[in-house]
Structure 1
């Protein structure tokens, strides 16, 4: 009798335990599914062919992640970008993302987009003078020796190059001025101010060379070409609109500089009708006073009046931690908000409750259409809700944030949280040429492999590309999205057919 009773109790106990186990397992699986249903891209339904392509992509992704999980010391994306920027180009997954239609670039600064090798090639042009001064250099096009101040002496770049002992070594040293890539970034770039100083020096050094009108226009034309070759169909370019000059001594003001951009875009679209053009976001420097911002706004209104279909809107740029807070310009910006659309940089900082991350309050209150970076947004739960409620796109630039010292390990980027919460994210690349990245492929690859969940798949990639069009100011948006879908279908068909 006792044996029978013990046996009965054991059976009941096992049955109860099994039921509890199944309940916990079911709840665990429910948690996972609920999070997947919240993720950016959850509203995308994949076709049969897309499901086949997804298997290929996810197989490649999971193999790389599983290998990195077992060998974290050699997982590329946990390291500094300079260490793996070239190596990842050999990845099959990278090559797929490179071929993938990526929609638009919406956050890019005009003279930071092409490689240092491209910039170096400009120094072979005629009439370029150089002034070497200790660790700095001035570059200026002129038909005579420049009258501008020089601590040593002005000389033609041609003469300086070919009077050197070794031309290759001369060019190698010159190239260092056109990139922030170095061998030991952790030792040299010890904090955000140090790397920003080097970053800004690039623009100071190249500014006068790029402002030569023929170079300015050719650089932008070739930027559009590089963007198109990276399977991007439209872009919005941010520019401080510096005065341009020519060899005849004519100086062109900011409105004329904008006109030169418009002429270049029109020429490019005529040459490449499959590209849907570009628009301008006038984005002067924020390290100024309120009266200067007032003048900026006047310039923006002039451009809008003259080229209403070309000017997308207005922004203020520069390192936020050291720049003047947006709140100092609130009066001027409030008065102009009915005339100009805003696309403000805000929250590009690691600080919490400081003037730099509080720029996000001002940006949202001023009705910004998008926020550039918004790196600090995860520390502001109410603002996160407002961004989603108001449909304010977040222009996230993951590589920029790592090379400019906001985050060391890509897996810790706040974008992971944005994606998990289905915030309106737009991927962009900021100044990819300065750190030797492709126009957008590197940022997509790093996001997909190093930031997003292991479970994030083709739906995320497609949604990110579509978002860049949805939140753009491109003309005939429905037409452009339709063309994207055609290109996407061809990409998927090719991927499935080739089977990689």
Structure 2
């Protein structure tokens, strides 16, 4: 009797153990299948890359696992302004800083460099300033003589102000006009419209400062320099192409501004032959009427006829929820022969005209979609995007700062990465929120958005995606140079250059 009981119990235990093992095997199989669906799954790492990957993943897991155990201390769950400087000291950030990042395909020209740089521009000769009565805002104008009009108080020469005040205190006050960064962002930037109001004031305020022709040229040249220093090879820069002015009373049209961009690009490439240059996406504001858009397209066509190799294409920009829906401009922007790079889906309002811009962008034949934040809610469109290989220009930190999402762990990029969507990482307007050109976005995407399992393969694929989905005519040259730089990057990690950082 006891022998039978023991026999039955043994068989039951063995059967349960077998079931348990089968479930574990199936579990591992499912996890493995899912990992093979992610961005970068098809990349085979070399022996050196595998060694570098171990180092990178140890650092990544250390940060994630600490945050998992101590969620209140996880930096990336807080507002970006609270951790943007702290993360720069981590080994992982420094590795990502040195990593070749490919191209930047979504950046707005006058919002790429930070407030310290912009403050430096206020030391130019012939700059005048006008503070409003409570000094809550300031206007700028370059002029040989005191400007007239457009000032509720009085115009003062910047140089004279500094000669008669505490320069450190004055510059500290002035710098605040060039940044969104504050100590209490959650209290002040309470919703999307509010933060966009502050954001829009940055462009209105700095417009006359940047559109002074010598400043425009210098700002763009130094933008290219900053890109190169952040290990970016190439940029497709969006611009509203504002008219410029100089001290002689000359004004320059949008077409002239585009020509200046091309000239500065060529000069920079001559000075730094290892940089692959830039192309222009003409991207004026979308909160306009149809006739204005018709004029935009006319300007774009003129630029394309003059500089077909420099103009990448056309876009309309601005706060998605307040702008006109794309469907209103079908007659103006169809059959133009211009490549489109449409902003779309930068909204949380599901089923609204803002949200449905995604349908229009795809039907209009857009080459890439700027932001595509809301695409995750449209399974049919996700299928179309993947089938048509329309790249998604994702800007994680922009979406955080501009109140589309509070925590990067909830960003839809996680879904795009998990399904091998054609994603390219970019940074939108890093200057006003004091982010580095691309490194901050790569760091937050890698640590705060992607799977704990996502590794060097994903990072490499994201950089390559930015090259494959660029409008650069000789992509094979870009990719070849990237591979050379990538090999050097991997060697620097394997040779323990990061152990004691």
TM-score by length of 2: 0.98
In 2, the alpha carbon distance for the partners of 1:471 and 1:300 equals 21
Deviates further, 127-136 or 478-487: 127-136
Match of 1:260 in 2: 260
Match of 1:23 in 2: 22
Deviation, 1:293, is 0.3
Match of 2:338 in 1: 340
Deviations 1:78-123 (A, max 9, x none): 1100000000000000000000000000000000011100000000
Pair 1:214 & 2:214 matched: yes
Partner SS state of residue 129, structure 1? strand
In 2, the alpha carbon distance for the partners of 1:335 and 1:129 equals 45
In 2, the alpha carbon distance for the partners of 1:404 and 1:386 equals 27
Partner SS state of residue 438, structure 1? coil
User: 1:2-21 counterparts in 2 under 5 A?
Assistant: 2-21=1-20
Match of 2:155 in 1: 154
In 2, the alpha carbon distance for the partners of 1:391 and 1:110 equals 26
Deviation, 1:498, is 2.1
In 1, the alpha carbon distance for the partners of 2:412 and 2:31 equals 20
Pair 1:143 & 2:154 matched: no
In 2, the alpha carbon distance for the partners of 1:290 and 1:499 equals 56
Match of 2:359 among 341, 345, 361: 361
Partner SS state of residue 58, structure 1? helix
Partner SS state of residue 455, structure 1? coil
Match of 1:229 in 2: 229
Partner SS state of residue 498, structure 1? coil
Deviations 1:258-292 (A, max 9, x none): 00000000000000000000000000000000110
Runs of 5+ consecutive residues of structure 1 not aligned to the other structure: none
Query: What is the total number of aligned residue pairs between the two structures?
Result: 496
Deviation, 1:205, is 0.3
Pair 1:281 & 2:281 matched: yes
Deviation, 1:12, is 1.3
Q: Is the 8 A contact 1:56 1:499 kept in 2?
A: no
Match of 1:424 among 422, 425, 431: 422
Match of 1:496 in 2: 494
Deviations 1:126-162 (A, max 9, x none): 0001111142211010111112321111111111232
Deviations 1:344-376 (A, max 9, x none): 000001110011111110000000000000000
User: 1:433-444 counterparts in 2 under 5 A?
Assistant: 433-444=431-442
Deviation, 1:499, is 5.1
User: 1:53-72 counterparts in 2 under 5 A?
Assistant: 53-72=52-71
Q: Is the 8 A contact 1:41 1:422 kept in 2?
A: yes
Partner SS state of residue 383, structure 1? helix
In 1, the alpha carbon distance for the partners of 2:39 and 2:200 equals 34
Match of 1:85 in 2: 84
In 2, the alpha carbon distance for the partners of 1:465 and 1:63 equals 24
Match of 1:458 among 451, 456, 459: 456
User: 1:42-441 counterparts in 2 under 5 A?
Assistant: 42-133=41-132, 134=134, 135-164=136-165, 166-336=166-336, 339-441=337-439
Q: Kindly report structure 1 stretches of 4+ aligned residues shifted beyond 6 Å.
A: none
Q: Is the 8 A contact 1:116 1:175 kept in 2?
A: yes
Deviates further, 143-152 or 195-204: 143-152
Partner SS state of residue 140, structure 2? strand
Runs of 5+ consecutive residues of structure 2 not aligned to the other structure: none
In 2, the alpha carbon distance for the partners of 1:147 and 1:354 equals 44
TM-score by length of 1: 0.98
